Structure 1
């Protein structure tokens, strides 16, 4: 540098003021060795002032060299130099960037700041500290510090809102946004709005999200926050709104990434894959954001695109390679690959990923492999891997217990649950709500009421249940007691579920239905809709089953019509089966026949074979001894080659019922 040569020639490079100018020149040049040259120059200055120290510490922090910044700060304090408020703010940022490896160092910085009186007078110091705590996940500490700060500016509010949103406290973050705008009368900037939009997306607050979108349009900064608006709509399930926003933005690789992730979140896997092209953009996508491989692999898994998944895998390894990733990214992507191969029916390929990338030491990866084996019915392989693990977490145990239940081995699941809590087992561990759900499902399969009650008692004794039930556990208990015929217990549990949803309501409706309490089931359905909870397809199966079991034909037809007229649901095979069963139970076999004839041309388009539906009508013919109708139904089933063996058995029963 010319200035460097002149300063050295004049012998001024040892002067802190001129050295600081040179140091800033090196830093601003952004050459590969700029920080090395800056540090060399720094060491040549015999008497360093605070500004010189501050310049180099800031440079290390901005370059994500947190360890070097912290080391330099320690060196400064050992030389009896007193850091100023700006240096403390910078060091807090360095601590934040080092995640949780320097929590004690950061807390010590906080103590010094209080002792020096910087906190009430310098807002930049308080803002950096609360951001540090938020980055570590200590949001309570951030909020406490935020409340204690004598001065706050827009940057402070933004940092606190972002801290809440990034740590899963979206509601609190949005409440702070309201306070900032409506009580403090601060005008939000683009960062404020973008952060609030993230909170709206994660909390599914579509009303506020639309209000923020309108604000952006009015203020003319919509395009600057277009990606945040689009992401909010995708997270809230408003795909058409997201697409409209994207259509107004310039198409680029970032918008393609946004579409892929958004479509996958909304289970529109075919739409997502339209933006994955091997000929043009997959390589570019990986260069911009390699983690997008996870939603792409999800699409492959959901659509059973094994060959496409293999190509994605090969391209990714060629370009990126798992060994070059951060450990956290490697675990996430390795798990996604294993999941994709297993969901596509190739557990062997999944095992190659597991073995070749030396992932067995990571519990999360081993859990994915166990789940994959169990998904493919390979229980022995899953059990062998489970037994070989040197470390297990609650997900490991829960996956194995649930896998036993899913593979019709509920007794093994209960034995493993008992082993999980056994004190003599060195791997013994406390379960979570999903562990209990797996145990409850095992008891339901075995109709083991006694052990079901024991698990229920364990739940009550645990910290998970204090007068009320989590919706996941509560719904499972309702289902279990309903299958046991213990409606009283099912109703008590249901009434204690804190935040009921469509699944908990559906469970209790079905419980009353299968136990002959149809009127009560319909009353609860009405209560659910009055609460603003929309039913799903399974809810209507339960409602139709209630009408069928209790002879509520008129109401059954009403709810069947309501399903597609009001809620826009296309009836599935199980809906038609319930409807035909309901008509058939009361001798309305001709009406049932007419219904099936009417829907016959829609069978293929609606995705069901109708064998179960016609078999339900055949069963009704047996119940009422209707030989003529039974013969017609049996002929139809045999012509379609559906349920052949069961059809012969049922038609023989029809003849027997008719005395033939």
Structure 2
């Protein structure tokens, strides 16, 4: 009969760590935990720390915290394990609070692992101020060498690239640090610096050998700068590093991401044929992300039909697939199709449940905005609340999309309600609400909101000033409008575009200051070389003012100017005819219409209006 040896705490700890490697061992791990309690090896700091870590790696952080709180004895490893449990399971704030308790309440001296974990937490939540304080603590206790990567990563994730560059200058030969810097440069939209760092090293291939994931960053940089030649060189490196094991590694998640980035790079460099070649010939097992990358590439390159064809052929679709396709329909002016596809996504036709995310709902709301379909927009809003909860409050993109949808659909009360409930507002959110007021002719409220925005320190952008100038125009506030126009250029350094000039001309024209408006246009024409800045929309605004005030002479002069430059020909003839008609000069008005009809190739499109009594949605969301 075999001699039975009773396991000790080292054996239990080893087996528990083995169970932690996969959630498939969940039941076995719980059984071992029960056995530990029955055999009397609990409490034991080593075993309990191992159990704590096991539950954390399964994502059961609450179980880990119960164990931690019940431990009669804790060492620095136990604290580290619990802090790491929070940080690596998306509860970084809880991890940072526990670190404070460890250091400042329990007076446990953190080691280098504790500092590194907390710095990772700061990086993930972009907590720069606390990260700098922890960095100071690292310097005080002398762990700078051990924590150099964590400190550098924290600064990069918080957008302080210059701080991270100091470490690069001091430890420039560290390949791992250089890899981290390359990724950081790309994530901070400094793609040129990333490529420059790679090019400055005589043996740059070591970066790709050191960490295959850096390939994704380099491909992203090539896509951002449309550097097809360098992208092809990186493609060659991919084939060299992974080519011999391509088939067996195609299921590997990191390889899947690399191939998706490769397809994306070719598409963004307008080399769709190369992307199709990679997709068709070099990927034996196609992942859904590969399909998504190609479909998005087709949409970005104006090949909507190709995108539709591949979308229908997809063996599996996820939320990214549906969102990309709905976005494609919106981009190409087919909001009806986008709304239909959204309803199909929720129809569970293939018995596959796909739930939309914040991006999906933002794009869907844009379809309703384009159609001014209030009922459809309300349904999408309701589905959003049922699916994601309070995303309309806590997600600035979704909240802004709702404000825009309700404003364009004619319900300013709903738009204002959503705007007021938003926990965070950026310049786009404020601009959407200001534009809503301006487009509905409520100019004074738009200007009041504009001043509120500036009072809290949010800088307006080009679109904001278009709405502000429009509001001044509708309210007849000439002096205020000119003051805002000057503020735009002098204070905020925004270069006026054609729509800004059109607003100013309209502002002067509505106030009857036609001579001043014409002088401004002539000044623009003398100073600006680009015809875009004094295009048809600007002259058209002045022509409309001529009709309003019956100034036939100036109207005829402006129309001649527009026809000479071949700008908005049909609109010009119609507007000039209306100028004569408003002055009672009917013969001249008819003569202008005859000229227009004789001018070859200039057939105007008839104006259209639409009223939705009930917007048909294929199926309630």
Identify the residue that residue 615 of structure 2 maps to in structure 1: none
d(CA) in 1 for partners of 2:169, 2:559:
53
1:118 and 2:33 correspond: no
Identify the residue that residue 545 of structure 2 maps to in structure 1: 624
Identify the residue that residue 259 of structure 1 maps to in structure 2: 181
Identify the residue that residue 8 of structure 2 maps to in structure 1: 84
Identify the residue that residue 317 of structure 1 maps to in structure 2: 239
Alpha carbons 1:405, 1:413 under 8 Å: kept:
yes
Decide whether aligned partners of structure 1 residues 518 and 345 sit closer, same or farther in structure 2, where only a CA change above 3 A counts.
same
Q: CA RMSD in A?
A: 3.5
Alpha carbons 1:88, 1:125 under 8 Å: kept:
yes
- Structure 1 residue 312 displacement after superposition: 0.9
Identify the residue that residue 418 of structure 2 maps to in structure 1: 493
Alpha carbons 1:419, 1:425 under 8 Å: kept:
no
Unmatched tracts of structure 1, length 5 or more: 1-45, 48-78, 604-608
Question: For each residue in 1:556-604, what CA deviation from the matched residue of structure 2 results, as whole angstroms up to 9, or x when unmatched?
Answer: 455555556666666666656655655565434267448737973xx7x
Identify the residue that residue 172 of structure 1 maps to in structure 2: 94
Identify the residue that residue 420 of structure 1 maps to in structure 2: 345
Alpha carbons 1:433, 1:464 under 8 Å: kept:
no
Identify the residue that residue 374 of structure 1 maps to in structure 2: 299
SS at match of 2:198: coil
Alpha carbons 1:354, 1:365 under 8 Å: kept:
yes
d(CA) in 2 for partners of 1:613, 1:494:
35
Identify the residue that residue 164 of structure 2 maps to in structure 1: 242
Bigger CA drift: 579-588 or 248-257?
Answer: 579-588
Identify the residue that residue 130 of structure 1 maps to in structure 2: 52
1:331 and 2:256 correspond: yes
Q: Please, which of 369, 382, 385 is the counterpart of residue 310 of structure 2? A: 385
Identify the residue that residue 124 of structure 2 maps to in structure 1: 202
Bigger CA drift: 478-487 or 511-520?
Answer: 511-520
Q: How many residues align?
A: 571
- TM-score, length basis structure 1: 0.77
Unmatched tracts of structure 2, length 5 or more: 589-621
Identify the residue that residue 479 of structure 1 maps to in structure 2: 404
Bigger CA drift: 498-507 or 407-416?
Answer: 498-507
Question: For each residue in 1:506-535, what CA deviation from the matched residue of structure 2 results, as whole angstroms up to 9, or x when unmatched?
Answer: 322222222222332233344445555555
Question: For each residue in 1:16-72, what CA deviation from the matched residue of structure 2 results, as whole angstroms up to 9, or x when unmatched?
Answer: xxxxxxxxxxxxxxxxxxxxxxxxxxxxxx99xxxxxxxxxxxxxxxxxxxxxxxxx
Q: Please, which of 180, 202, 222 is the counterpart of residue 280 of structure 1? A: 202
Q: Where do residues 604-615 of structure 1 align in structure 2 (5 Å cutoff)? A: 609=530, 611-615=532-536
d(CA) in 2 for partners of 1:475, 1:515:
18
Q: Please, which of 267, 282, 295 is the counterpart of residue 357 of structure 1? A: 282
Alpha carbons 1:394, 1:431 under 8 Å: kept:
yes
Question: For each residue in 1:146-181, what CA deviation from the matched residue of structure 2 results, as whole angstroms up to 9, or x when unmatched?
Answer: 223222222222222222222222222222222222
Alpha carbons 2:536, 2:567 under 8 Å: kept:
no
- Structure 1 residue 184 displacement after superposition: 1.4
Q: Please, which of 203, 207, 214 is the counterpart of residue 292 of structure 1? A: 214
Q: Where do residues 632-643 of structure 1 align in structure 2 (5 Å cutoff)? A: none
- TM-score, length basis structure 2: 0.81
d(CA) in 2 for partners of 1:166, 1:522:
46
- Structure 1 residue 427 displacement after superposition: 4.0
Q: Where do residues 93-112 of structure 1 align in structure 2 (5 Å cutoff)? A: 93-96=17-20, 98-112=21-35
- Structure 1 residue 291 displacement after superposition: 0.7
Decide whether aligned partners of structure 1 residues 466 and 442 sit closer, same or farther in structure 2, where only a CA change above 3 A counts.
closer
Question: For each residue in 1:121-168, what CA deviation from the matched residue of structure 2 results, as whole angstroms up to 9, or x when unmatched?
Answer: x22222222222222333333233322322222222222222222222
1:303 and 2:225 correspond: yes
Alpha carbons 1:615, 1:647 under 8 Å: kept:
no
- Structure 1 residue 416 displacement after superposition: 1.6
Question: For each residue in 1:426-462, what CA deviation from the matched residue of structure 2 results, as whole angstroms up to 9, or x when unmatched?
Answer: 3453333333333221122222233223333433454
